[in-house]
Amino acid sequence: MSSVPSYLWLSRHSIFYFRVVVPSVLRPLFPCGEIRRSLQTRCKREALIRGRELLLQVQKLYTQAFQGIRPSLDSLRGAWEAGGKRVASWAGWLRQQQLVHLADSAASTSPVPVKGSGKASLKARRASSRVSPALKKGLVGDLPSNAPRFSEVVHECLEHQRQEGIAAKTIADKRSVAEMVIRIVGDLPVDLITRQDARKYRETALKLPPRIYQLPEGQSLEQIIENASTTISLTTFNNYVKNLTTFFSYAIREGYCERNPFDGLRVRQRGKVSEERSVFTEDDLRRLFSKQVYASANSTQPHKYWLPLLGLYTGARLNELCQLYLDDVVVINGIDCLHIRATRPDQKLKTITSERLVPIHSKLKALGFLEFVRAQREAGHQRVFAELTLHRAHGYAAAPSKWFTRVREQLGFRDGGERKDFHSFRHTLADHLKQKGVVESLVGGILGHQSGGITFNRYGKDFRPEVLAPVVEAMDFDAMEWLR
């Protein structure tokens, strides 16, 4: 789709013109078959504003013609020609305009007899009967917009991201956010979504409960809000706005609209970013790894034994651990490591920098992790946790995530305002090493975070395992003692 509306035309002298073809049914009432005016500018942005102003005036002329009044093209004049105030926010203004006063003024004017055949006059009257209800009421709907609807822009954008290799779960999450926008403000042409619509979305979304897409279908938003016992966090809402900004940035690049109505709509949070998720205290870990409640190493679901331990001593994300293959357990420079990577179709990483080598902690070796890996190889398995099945959106972590949520609730980790889940292992490792004075770049090397300036990021290589091994060993929680 062209970035310039069809009613704009650029002359060979680089001057923009406004040009529209009169509908055939109305041509007997117009002195010409095409309406053309110079916009007197070489600036595309200025031409868009001026062209849209003339487009509204043409809409008025069409309304008069449908009422049997011969339109006068002499009245077609832009505000810039008369030295008046220019239209600054056309999209928001146009949607709110009404032509009722135009119809009233036209009705009070004596109709000009239509010259020509009676057939042409009848044709115009029949055309008037086919005008949309919105136009008869005086409303200017989405007719002047040539832009695609929001749902179409979302489909294009997500298809583009899918081709770039964005994870299916990420695309599904973004699509869900877009569907909620459509549910709240409607599936409007993308250039007719205003700041007022964005504020309406914010006001509604902040009242919604978490995981709304898991609720039974058939409920209205009002019912969902009324029955909600809790609401989404500010972090979640800001992530929604981030996704919407992605859609509108794409629309702007493609020339579908000029601005992002959700720009600056994020809600500022007074708390520190480090407080968004709580870390596990030593007392929490003792309760979690207590022999009375913790899973057995010899169970038919070994992931329930090893995943929390791996999370504690590696800081890896849940899905990074669940999707490990046996050949991801490697020896580099004499050091046993987990190679967090995505070399197979069923492996996904959050970012490019997430690929890394994480030395295996001595406590994991003492608990028999390497022996477990060896037994999996001898059993003919390919993956470390062969009992896990692949979920289309959530990878191999779908079932373990639900399981750990139940464990968390049984141990009371959701009590109060603290937010603790499997990702808290990651925060726990980062906080523990920070308190020990470990430099941020080394912690980032373990967690797969990019840190530092352009020199290290562009020219420096990843940390070697022998450099990271002492950092991993600084995580000195003794899970062996807790499991006794």
At 272 the pLDDT is 53
At 80 the pLDDT is 63
Name the domain boundary from 240, 270, 300: 270
Q: Are residues 196 and 61 in the same domain?
A: no
Q: Which amino acid is at 381?
A: H
Q: Considering the domain boundaries, does residue 331 fall inside one?
A: yes
Q: Which residue has better confidence, 102 or 58? A: 58
Q: Are residues 186 and 91 in the same domain?
A: no
Please provide the DSSP assignment of 22-59 as one string. PPGGGGGGSSSSEEEEE---S-HHHHHHHHHHHHHHHH
Question: Confidence class of residue 69 from pLDDT cuts 50, 70 and 90?
Answer: confident
Q: Which residue has better confidence, 180 or 67? A: 180
Q: Are residues 382 and 453 in the same domain?
A: yes
Residue owning tokens 């420079």:
333
Q: Which amino acid is at 229?
A: S
Give burial (CB, 10 Å; 0-12/13-18/19+) of 51: buried
Task: Count CB-CB contacts under 10 A for residue 462.
Answer: 13
For 109-130, what is each residue's pLDDT tens digit? 444 444 444 444 444 444 444 3
Q: Considering the domain boundaries, does residue 309 fall inside one?
A: yes
Question: Confidence class of residue 270 from pLDDT cuts 50, 70 and 90?
Answer: low
Q: Considering the domain boundaries, does residue 83 fall inside one?
A: yes
Question: Residue 217 contacts by C-beta under 8 Å, 6 or more apart in sequence?
Answer: none
Q: Considering the domain boundaries, does residue 402 fall inside one?
A: yes
CATH number of the CATH domain containing 355: 1.10.443.10
Is the alpha carbon torsion for 426, 427, 433, 438 positive or negative?
A: positive
* Cα 410 to Cα 301: distance, rounded to the nearest angstrom: 19
Q: Are residues 330 and 434 in the same domain?
A: yes
Q: Are residues 94 and 157 in the same domain?
A: no
Cβ-defined contacts of 98-104 (< 8 Å, 24+): 98/137, 98/138, 98/139, 98/140, 99/59, 99/60, 99/63, 99/135, 99/138, 99/139, 99/140, 100/137, 100/138, 101/138, 102/60, 102/63, 102/64, 102/138, 103/63, 103/67, 103/138
Structure tokens at 293: 């409640």
Name the domain boundary from 229, 249, 270: 270
The answer on pLDDT for 2 being more than 60 is no
Which segment of 57-66, 285-294, 307-316 scores lowest on mean pLDDT?
Answer: 57-66
Average pLDDT over residues 414-439: 84
Q: Are residues 85 and 180 in the same domain?
A: no
Q: pTM score, two decimals?
A: 0.58
Task: Count CB-CB contacts under 10 A for residue 367.
Answer: 19
The answer on pLDDT for 468 being more than 60 is yes
Highest mean pLDDT among 144-158, 161-175, 253-267, 371-385: 371-385
For 141-172, what is each residue's pLDDT tens digit? 334 567 889 999 999 999 998 888 788 888 88
**Contact, 430 vs 475, CB < 8 A?**
no
Q: Considering the domain boundaries, does residue 315 fall inside one?
A: yes
Which segment of 93-102, 264-273, 408-417 scores lowest on mean pLDDT?
Answer: 93-102
Average pLDDT over residues 407-419: 72
At 271 the pLDDT is 55
The answer on pLDDT for 235 being more than 90 is no
**Contact, 141 vs 134, CB < 8 A?**
yes
Task: Write the CA distances from 399 to 25, 258, 405, integer angstroms.
Answer: 63, 44, 10
At 128 the pLDDT is 43
Mean pLDDT of the chain: 80
Q: Considering the domain boundaries, does residue 1 fall inside one?
A: no
Q: Are residues 207 and 261 in the same domain?
A: yes
For 188-226, what is each residue's pLDDT tens digit? 999 889 998 999 999 998 998 887 777 777 788 888 888
For 321-365, what is each residue's pLDDT tens digit? 999 999 999 999 999 999 999 999 999 888 888 899 999 999 999
At 452 the pLDDT is 54
At 436 the pLDDT is 92
The answer on pLDDT for 422 being more than 80 is yes
Q: Considering the domain boundaries, does residue 3 fall inside one?
A: no
Structural domain containing residue 181: 150-270
Q: With pLDDT > 90 as the criterion, what percentage of the chain qualifies?
A: 38
* Cα 248 to Cα 244: distance, rounded to the nearest angstrom: 6
Q: Are residues 266 and 351 in the same domain?
A: no
Q: Which amino acid is at 186?
A: G
Structure tokens at 170: 């990420």
Average pLDDT over residues 50-65: 86
* Cα 327 to Cα 320: distance, rounded to the nearest angstrom: 14
The answer on pLDDT for 96 being more than 60 is no
Q: Are residues 317 and 448 in the same domain?
A: yes
Question: Residue 299 contacts by C-beta under 8 Å, 6 or more apart in sequence?
Answer: 305
Domain count, the chain: 3
Structure tokens at 92: 């928001």
The answer on pLDDT for 85 being more than 50 is no
Q: Are residues 25 and 60 in the same domain?
A: yes
Question: Confidence class of residue 231 from pLDDT cuts 50, 70 and 90?
Answer: confident
Average pLDDT over residues 239-262: 90
Average pLDDT over residues 305-330: 96
Q: Considering the domain boundaries, does residue 232 fall inside one?
A: yes
Q: Are residues 128 and 197 in the same domain?
A: no
At 455 the pLDDT is 40
Q: Are residues 332 and 243 in the same domain?
A: no
Name the domain boundary from 111, 136, 161: 136
